[in-house]
């Protein structure tokens, strides 16, 4: 039933703005108040995505592990934010440390990977592994940058790391 409501809200949004998706995207930054208003009416996913079919594969974790996984995810985002802050401040050693400890191959204990991995489909496990390897690679490049001052490879590595988050989010959701 929620789906019908969301579709109805989405249709209303299209009528109200008198524009298609392109128009909405263009207006996005200007129509903050309007968007906020609509968000309170929707399901939380937002009216822009209402007509999109969710093709992500649902994955079921036991409740305790699910809660821990989502905590981990919020920590991932917090870490990514810190990395960007350190980038702006050119503090490459700090980037290396936090990328490796909080997201890299050294973060498995922190994120309880051994507990959640058995519940993941193979593709999700691989996406997780790719993200951890990408973070460790970022840590190595940041360590180099601390010596050479070469920032471009670090910027590229942050983009690559973020792409690993996006890839898994596009493919899986938790039930």
Residue 138 CA, distance from chain mean position: 17
Tokens 């009416």, located at residue:
41
> Does position 64 bind ligand HEC by CB under 6 A?
no
* 174 near ligand HEC, rule: CB under 6 A: yes
Q: Is 151 exposed, middle or buried (0-12, 13-18, 19+ CB in 10 A)?
A: middle
- Which CB atom, from 137 or from 164, has the smaller least distance to ligand HEC? 164
Q: CB nearer to ligand HEC: give 34 or 112.
A: 112
Tell me the two tokens of residue 59.
């994955």
Query: Torsion angle of alpha carbons 31, 32, 36, 42, nearest 10°?
Result: 50
- Name which of 51 and 77 has its Cβ closer to ligand HEC: 77
Binding mask 13-52 for ligand HEC (x = CB under 6 A): ----------------------------------------
Does residue 173 belong to the site contacting ligand HEC (CB under 6 A)? yes
Tokens in use for 136? 């460790």
Site for ligand HEC, residues 99 to 158, rule: CB under 6 A = 103, 124, 127-128, 131
What tokens does 81 get? 């934010």
**Site track for ligand HEC across 66-85, x = CB under 6 A:** ----x--xx-xx--x-----
79, 73 contact by CB (below 8 A): no
- Token readout for 137 is 């690679």
Q: Which residues bind ligand HEC (CB under 6 A)?
A: 70, 73-74, 76-77, 80, 103, 124, 127-128, 131, 164-165, 168-169, 172-174
């Amino acid at each position: 039933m929620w789906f019908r409501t969301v579709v109805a809200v989405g249709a209303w949004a299209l009528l109200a703005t008198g524009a298609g998706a392109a128009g909405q995207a263009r207006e996005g930054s200007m129509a903050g108040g309007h968007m906020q208003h609509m968000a309170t009416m929707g399901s939380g996913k937002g009216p822009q995505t209402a007509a999109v079919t969710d093709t992500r594969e649902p994955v079921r974790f036991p409740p305790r592990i699910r809660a821990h996984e989502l905590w981990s995810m919020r920590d991932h985002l917090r870490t990514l934010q810190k990395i960007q802050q350190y980038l702006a401040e050119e503090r490459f050693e700090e980037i290396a440390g936090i990328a490796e400890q909080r997201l890299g191959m050294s973060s498995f204990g922190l994120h309880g990977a051994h507990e959640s991995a058995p519940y993941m489909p193979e593709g999700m496990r691989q996406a997780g592994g790719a993200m951890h390897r990408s973070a460790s690679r970022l840590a190595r490049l940041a360590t180099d940058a601390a010596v050479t001052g070469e920032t471009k490879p670090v910027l590229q590595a942050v983009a690559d790391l973020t792409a690993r988050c996006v890839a898994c989010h596009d493919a899986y959701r938790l039930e």
